[in-house]
Structure formats: C-alpha cells, structure tokens
Amino acid sequence: GQQVMQIPQYQHVQEGEDFTTYCNSSTTLSNIQWYKQRPGGHPVFLIQLVKSGEVKKQKRLTFQFGEAKKNSSLHITATQTTDVGTYFCAGLGYSGGGADGLTFGKGTHLIIQP
C-alpha cells in the first residue's frame, strides 16, 4: 500500500532559526495536505497542494510539491515559539476506482529553544 515517509522525526532549533520537514511518498500523489498539531491538541489544516511543482506561502511558511508529485516540503523561516508542534503531511493517492483515504506521515516534532 501507499506509504508516506516524513523526516526528520524530531527537530530542535533555536528560536529564530529556520526549519524544514520533508515528506516522501512511495507512489504518485494526487494531492498533499499539511497539518499542524500543537502539544495536547488536534491536527489543524494548514494547506493543500495539488499541482506538480506547486509552491505556496503563508507568512513565514513555504510549502512545495515536487515535480513528480511524490514529495513535498514545509519550510518555516525564523521560527517562533508559537511554531512548536508536530507537522504532518498527508497524501491522497491515485486510485483505479473508488475512494482513498489520506495517508499521513508520522510527523516531525518541532522543538524550539528560546
């Protein structure tokens, strides 16, 4: 079945440093979504990427979808303490028929040291 790998599992950064998490799928994805989960909270949708090579920005966050639609990345510039949490990518694969569920990566835990 489809697998979505996410690295790194943990990332410690100093406040103000940049952060990047990478997501790789074993199969081509029709789209990819990114979610953030704060400690003790629930996942919150950040963005969805659909087109090959797509790049989207949300303030200090930059999301990319690879040309082959098998990988994606999230980059945060100048991290702040409010960025703490776990970032998940979730991919929707192509199917010969019927509906698919999202396959989530295991997430990257972002820990920020002030």
Partner 1 sequence: DSGVTQTPKHLITATGQRVTLRCSPRSGDLSVYWYQQSLDQGLQFLIQYYNGEERAKGNILERFSAQQFPDLHSELNLSSLELGDSALYFCASSVQPQGKRWYEQFFGPGTRLTVL
- Give contact residues for partner 1 (rule: CB under 8 A): 30-31, 33, 41-45, 48, 88, 90, 92, 98-107
Closer CB to partner 1, residue 75 or residue 104?
Answer: 104
Given the complex with partner 1, which of 37 and 62 has the nearer CB atom? 37
| Nearer Cβ to partner 1 (50/78) | 50
Measure the CA–CA gap between 74 and 40, rounded to whole angstroms: 22
Nearest approach in angstroms of CB 1 to partner 1 is 9
Residue 37 Cβ vs partner 1, minimum distance, rounded to whole Å: 8
**Within 10 A of 69 (CB to CB), how many other CB atoms are there?**
22
CB 56 within 8 A of CB 89: no
Report whether 87 contacts 44 (CB < 8 A): no
